[in-house]
Each structure stands twice: as C-alpha cells, then as structure tokens.
Amino acid sequence: DQSVATYSPDGKVYQVEYALKAIENSGTTIGVRCKDGVVLGVEKLLTSKMLAPGSNRRVHSVDDHITVAVTGLLADGRVLVKRAADECRGYRQNFGEPIPPKVLAERMAGFFHAFTSYWAYRPYGATLTIGGYDAELGEHELYQAEPTGDVGRYFGIAVGKGTRSAKTEIEKYAFGEKTCSEALGYLAKIMHTVHDDVKDKPFELELSWVTAETGWRAATVPADARDAANAWAL
C-alpha cells in the first residue's frame, strides 16, 4: 500500500484512502444550497492564540462568482485554489464568459484524478467545496471535488472532522427553503454542535457566500452578520 500506482488485493488504492484520512483530521467544512444562494462555512481551528483573526483563510474566491473552501492539508489546498483560479481565468479568456461551476468542479476533479495515476506523485490531501452561480442557467450550485477524483453536486455537504454528525444535522434542517441570511444562524449552530470543545482548540467560523443579495458575487459574509449568527447559535 506504499504506492499510488498499486492496487491492493481487495481492489483499493490505499494511498488515496490515506489521503482521505488526512482530510478527516482537519476542521469541518459545511456547504449548503439555500433558496437564494450557496453558503460555505469552515471551522477554522486556531492553532495558536497569537494568530491574527482573519488570517490563515480556508475559504477563497477563485472568480467573481465562485467561492471555494479547502479541507485537509492547507498547503495542498493553496495549490488547488491557485489552479482553480487559473482555470477560471483561462476559461474567461478563451470563451469570453464566466466559467460555469459545473465545468470548474469537473476540471478540478480531473486534476485531482491525475495525481492518483502516477507512482511519482502523491494524491492531494485536500477536498474542495465549491459554491458558485451559473449566469446562463440562472442557477446557484454547490459542488465537492475530492482527492479520489470524485465530484458531485449537492444540496448540502460536510467534510472534515465532524462530517458524520454535520451531515445528520444538515439533513435535519431544510436549507433549500431558507434564504442565505436565515441559514447563517443554523450553519453556525451546526458548527458549534459538531465542534468538540474538549478535544479541540477553539475555532473561528469562516463564512462565505454567493447569493442574490450580493448580486451573485462570491463574498465573505460581513463580520456583523457572522457575529450575529454565532451569538444566535450559542
């Protein structure tokens, strides 16, 4: 199981599975598709009390209309975000229109997959949760691309430490019927429920959205809205 280029006798590629384990050790990311947009929330564990708030971001805008959250090895995530931004830019240059989120998610999945095929490379240890707006369809969409090369479009998705409990919580609330502003409080609540106060360090909640309110531009949720959500959740 030491090489990506080898199957195990029971038909698995262990290196890819170990990559997924690396992601399971990271702070939880939750993405939900609401009535009027997509919201991404990240449990950013604060590794040091000296960290300035708002630094070490795990959520990035890769284009005007797409926001991406990284879960797993953040250094790997940085490379992936840069690649996603390059794809967005190149697409716009060649085709004169913003990249549909579906195309970006599938391209990133292809990129991930390439690293599962050669013995000289290791798979990326990070998952991308992608929220974006497709102007031609008039639809907001939520995708997730994983180091295995899998990609899917979701109503709600969680990845990281608290995946299991987060997924249960997400299914409980009908996010599809809430507006993004309404959803913020519930998202914060899930994050606080899922966060293990005993075992883990304190966390900062990073929120980002693409919604009708922001004119379908990817943006960080304003600090006061985020603080209100945190206060409501606790």
Contacts with another protein by CB under 8 A lie at 93-97, 100, 102-103, 106, 136
Q: How many whole angstroms separate alpha carbon 141 and alpha carbon 218?
A: 12
> Closer CB to another protein, residue 48 or residue 94?
94
Q: What's the N-to-C CA distance of the chain in angstroms? A: 44
Q: How many other CB atoms are there within 10 angstroms of residue 142's CB atom?
A: 26
Distance in Å, CB of 92 to another protein, minimum: 9
- Residue 78 tokens read as 């940085």
Provide, rounded to whole angstroms, the least separation between the CB of residue 95 and another protein: 4
Task: Compare residues 151 and 187 and give the one whose CB is closer to another protein.
Answer: 151
Between residues 95 and 119, which has the closer beta carbon with respect to another protein? 95
Work out how close the CB of 113 gets to another protein at its nearest, in angstroms, rounded to a whole number: 16
CB of 137 to another protein, least distance (A): 8
Amino acid code (one letter) for 69: A
If the CB atoms of residues 23 and 104 are measured against another protein, the closer one turns out to be 104
User: What are the structure tokens assigned to 177, written together?
Assistant: 């019927």
Cα dihedral 197/200/204/207 (nearest 10): -90
What is the Cα 12 distance to its own chain's centre?
A: 25
- Residue number, 2 or 93, with CB nearest to another protein: 93
Contact 80, 70 (CB under 8 A): yes
Q: How far is the CB of 149 from another protein (least distance, A)?
A: 16
DSSP structural state of residue 46: -
Closest CA to 44 of 201, 234, 156: 201
